[in-house]
Amino acid sequence: MRYTAAHWGAYVFEESVGLHPLADDPAPSRIGRGWLSAATNERGRVLAPVVRKGWLEGDRGAGRPSDDFVRVPWDKAVRLVADELIRVRTVHGNGAIFAGSYGWSSAGRFHHAQSQLHRFLNCFGGYVGSRGTYSHAAAEVLFPYLLGMSQRQLQDNMTSIEEVAEHCELLLAFGGISGRTAQITASGSSFHEIPDWLDRLSAGGTRLVSVSPQRSDHASAEWLSIRPGTDTALMLALTYEIVASGHENLAFLERFTSGWPQFRAYLAGETDAVPKSADWASLICDVSAKRIRALAQELHGRRSMIAVAWGLQRADHGEQPIWAALALASVLGEIGQPGTGFSFGYGSTSPVGRPTRLIPWPSLPQGQNPVEDFIPVARLADMLMHAGAHYRYNGEIRTFPDIRLVYWVGGNPFHHHQNLRRLDVAWTRPDTVILHEHSWTASARRADIVLPATTPLERDDIMMNRRDPRLIYMSQILSPVGEAQHDYGIFRRIAQRLGFEHQFTEGREVDAWLRDLWERAAEVAAEHRFGLPDFERFRDEGVFTVPDAEDHRRLMRDFVEDPESAPLVTESGRVTLFNETISGFRLADCPGHPKWIPPVESLLDAPDGALHLISGQPDTRLHAQNDLGQEARNDKIKGREPVLMHPAAASARGLVEGDVVRLSNARGACLAGLRLSEDIRPDCVALATGAWFDPQTVGGEWLEVHGNPNVLTIDKGCSELSQGSIAHTALVYVEAWDRPLPALSISHPPRILEEQG
């Protein structure tokens, strides 16, 4: 019996059955059903090294993306990559090399694409990297100021969901809590507990109120249907009403927070003549003032948890709802108490709040990057288009580097970036784009040199997740397709040509690296007072379960129990409701306290007929991974990604279920298949991310024909503090598509020529 793992679960492989989830997984991921079919879809696989024809002829990017490729032998591909790296370093320096590789890639510790690329380029003299994530960039910058901890520290110390189920009476979830997004975990997961946990909450009497433009995945949750992008206003109004009724916890505010007087003055309208009352918020949020006041009363009368989903801050001014939610929880004064207070990310990924021991398993050493330059991850297109331009980030004025070579491994920016039509233009600016890729993604089709890589099913590795109670030996299930090699082998060949093979490999084959990881893991286990089996036994058995893995955490417990001996690492040692440092940055889009700032685009001032676009994570794949798999393909409508719309909105536009529709705005247009549901507001539509980008010219119009929402989203930072993405701030128009359907090109490789001579 062989085991393997992915970000969406752990699996047993049997020849007669294929992959199936572990028997004790209470809610196996739907995504896993499409994994094997996606990996074995040879029409979508990169089968051999190829080089773009125009690049070979010296066009330096001008021919991207509409160009043929030329198949070349591995030795020539390696030589071309090595020679181009040397050219760029010699002429422009290592600061002209951008190591992208943002993306989830493999769940294995060794074949982690980003680690492999960074280790390789550090041996070569360094690279420009990226900072932060598309998932929660605003939070990553903001939390160190508010709580003195990183986003990772916050997630690691989140109050246990077991404690919430036992003690919480009212769980107010902004952005909801979804088993759909909880299918996934970076570094892999052996089980999925969120749906079961939500059932236990209901059975135990915890009231779950989901504040979202879409109904919660959980049937028993109360749905508070809010106008998208207005959560901050609702949070401020709830806080105002609690204070106005005299129920704020002054003892907590005075001892555990700083900046309350300044924030209270803003709430009361003393600074702008606008009290943040329920009446004020009602017009913004489309929630009645009566309902807001009632909810405020319920919050202070019960043991309450204020929960915020990651997706809430992927919007214009995304820092504000996080900060306002923390302020609301502070006014209630239940932070640090059993099962109550503040949380960020329940259901956004599996391990947030998981009551298991946190163990810092080892990873592949990457070395040190001599190049200090970086960009915020979501400013990719800005960097490529505006070399030398200045921008603000986290209190600094920075300069975009002049990138001549992009090296990307294990990721697809033409999935996760916003305004893909703009990125398409920016992507032509570098001299050279090099990719390792197993499939013909949009990024691969826009590269100059594409080196065929294996999928996780075609190599051995180890799943080591810091918050999972199991370690999984990921056995090779499939033979490599075509001429595919794993990233380590590819980099080894290039490093050999560049003269630093031993520095990169340390003389080790893959098996030796896996043994080294296991030996270092045994040292970590010993520090936690348990032992690991020897490597051969682990490899043969495939699974190791950590003994006594249970560990119940509570966010900021030590601080609340004794703030003098366990202060927060903030400017005041306390939770900062008004932050002097941020205020000192003098940013109009992120002041020194939580504030309602109207989004750049919203239903508040929308033209007639416009709808708000919700572009959340899909149910059938991880981002864009497995989109060519059977599970994702079976979910599509006439080959297009389904878009969810309220029946009333569809009727007003003369649309019926199963229609193909055109979504459009000033940034672009795409086709999608119509699916109707009353579980979404009539002024919204929901189109999941991850449909493979397939732009074509149809009747003279630029049109994405597959259903990728990022042709419609805005490529702008949520503020000059964090520069995070604002994927959830976008308006669109929807109309019937009454012309012949364009054929999809995504499931077929580009034209590949045989090398001449």
* Amino acid found at 614: I
Task: Measure the CA–CA gap between 30 and 756, rounded to whole angstroms.
Answer: 46
Contacts 24+ apart (CB under 8 A), 205-210: 205/169, 206/164, 206/165, 206/168, 206/169, 206/170, 206/171, 207/169, 207/170, 207/171, 207/302, 208/171, 208/173, 208/177, 209/170, 209/171, 209/172, 209/173, 209/295, 210/173, 210/176, 210/177
Whether residue 274 contacts residue 233, with contact meaning beta carbons closer than 8 Å, is answered with no
The β-bridge partners of 131 are 376
The CB density around residue 113, as the number of other CB atoms within 10 Å, is: 23
What is the DSSP code string of 448-472? Answer: SEEEEB--GGGS-EEEE-TT-SEEE
Task: Measure the CA–CA gap between 23 and 4, rounded to whole angstroms.
Answer: 14
What are φ and ψ of residue 590, in 5° steps? -160, 85
CA–chain centroid gap for 82, Å, is 32
Closest by CA position to 644, among listed 667, 664, 673: 673
Whether residue 197 contacts residue 305, with contact meaning beta carbons closer than 8 Å, is answered with no
What is the DSSP code string of 361-414? Answer: ---------S---EEEGGGHHHHHH-TT-EEEETTEEEE-----EEEEES--HH
What are φ and ψ of residue 4, in 5° steps? -150, 175
Place of tokens 């992507």: 427
Q: Helix (H) and strand (E) counts for the chain?
A: 26, 32
* Whether residue 695 has a cis bond before it, omega within 30° of 0: no
Task: Measure the CA–CA gap between 414 and 711, rounded to whole angstroms.
Answer: 10
The β-bridge partners of 736 are 661
What are φ and ψ of residue 519, in 5° steps? -65, -40
Report in angstroms the alpha-carbon separations of 78 from 87, 371, 434, 436, 459. Answer: 14, 24, 11, 12, 21
* Whether residue 65 has a cis bond before it, omega within 30° of 0: yes
Dig out the tokens for 355 from the structure.
């009551």
Place of tokens 């409701």: 577
* Amino acid found at 431: D
Helix (H, G, I), strand (E, B) or coil at 704: strand
Closest by CA position to 502, among listed 127, 112, 126, 123: 123
| SS (HEC) of 695-746 | EEEECCEEEECCCCHHHCCCCCCCCCCCCCCCCCCCEEEEEECCCCCCCCCC
Annotated catalytic residue within 3, 8, 35, 104? 104
Instruction: Please measure the distance between the N-terminal and C-terminal CA atoms of the chain and give it in whole angstroms.
Output: 48
Geometric angle at alpha carbon 575, from 570 and 576, rounded to 5°: 75
Helix (H, G, I), strand (E, B) or coil at 669: strand
Annotated catalytic residue within 102, 260, 427, 733? 102
Whether residue 403 contacts residue 695, with contact meaning beta carbons closer than 8 Å, is answered with no
The β-bridge partners of 754 are 71
Kindly provide the b/e burial profile for residues 576-586, where b requires at least 16 CB atoms within 10 angstroms of the residue's own CB.
bbbbeebbebe
The yes-or-no answer on residue 104 being catalytic is: yes
Task: Measure the CA–CA gap between 131 and 677, rounded to whole angstroms.
Answer: 38
Residues identified as active-site: 102, 104
